[in-house]
Amino acid sequence: MNTKSFFLSGIVGTIVCFLLGFLFYGLIFADLHTEDTDPDMLFIFLGCLFYAFTFALIFSRWAHITTFNSGAKAGFLIGLLWSLSVNFFMSSSEGVLDSNFAIMIAIDAVSAAIMGGVIALVIGKTKA
């Protein structure tokens, strides 16, 4: 694993994840979460940070994914499975499946595909 490409792709992936979250959840689908409290941006950023570095670790160390297309495909599958897992856990605490369940799964999978593609692209461009 190339440490430079791991860290650089993780940082770029964090930025992409954060911006996609703002785009999808903050602007386009802002009505999905109608809570009265404002989200804590630090915790959202930290979530993006660890999510992106998870992808960067998998892609650079074990899967050797280095192109946008292969990263987008892997990102979509990992994002889909992760989103299903998290949303089922969240639904279990509410006692009912959220009516926006499918939309949130789709948003998360598409976001993970884009982020995964960018992470893989950065890995491919920076590996020695």
- In a structure prediction context, what are the per-residue pLDDT tens digits for the chain, which is 128 residues long? 789 999 999 999 999 999 999 999 888 988 877 666 788 999 999 999 999 999 999 999 999 999 999 999 999 999 999 999 999 998 888 766 777 889 999 999 999 999 999 999 999 999 86
Residue 84's pLDDT is what? Answer: 96
Give the separation between CA 13 and CA 33, rounded to whole angstroms.
Answer: 24
Residue 96's pLDDT is what? Answer: 67
Selection from 111, 106, 113, 109 nearest residue 32 by Cα: 106
Give the separation between CA 11 and CA 5, rounded to whole angstroms.
Answer: 10
Amino acid at 29: F
Give the separation between CA 22 and CA 1, rounded to whole angstroms.
Answer: 31
Distances in Å between the Cα of 111 and the Cα atoms of 58, 69, 71 are: 17, 14, 12
Residue 34's pLDDT is what? Answer: 67
pTM of the model: 0.92
Residue 31's pLDDT is what? Answer: 82
Tokens of 27: 């602007």
Q: How many CB atoms lie within 10 A of CB 70?
A: 18
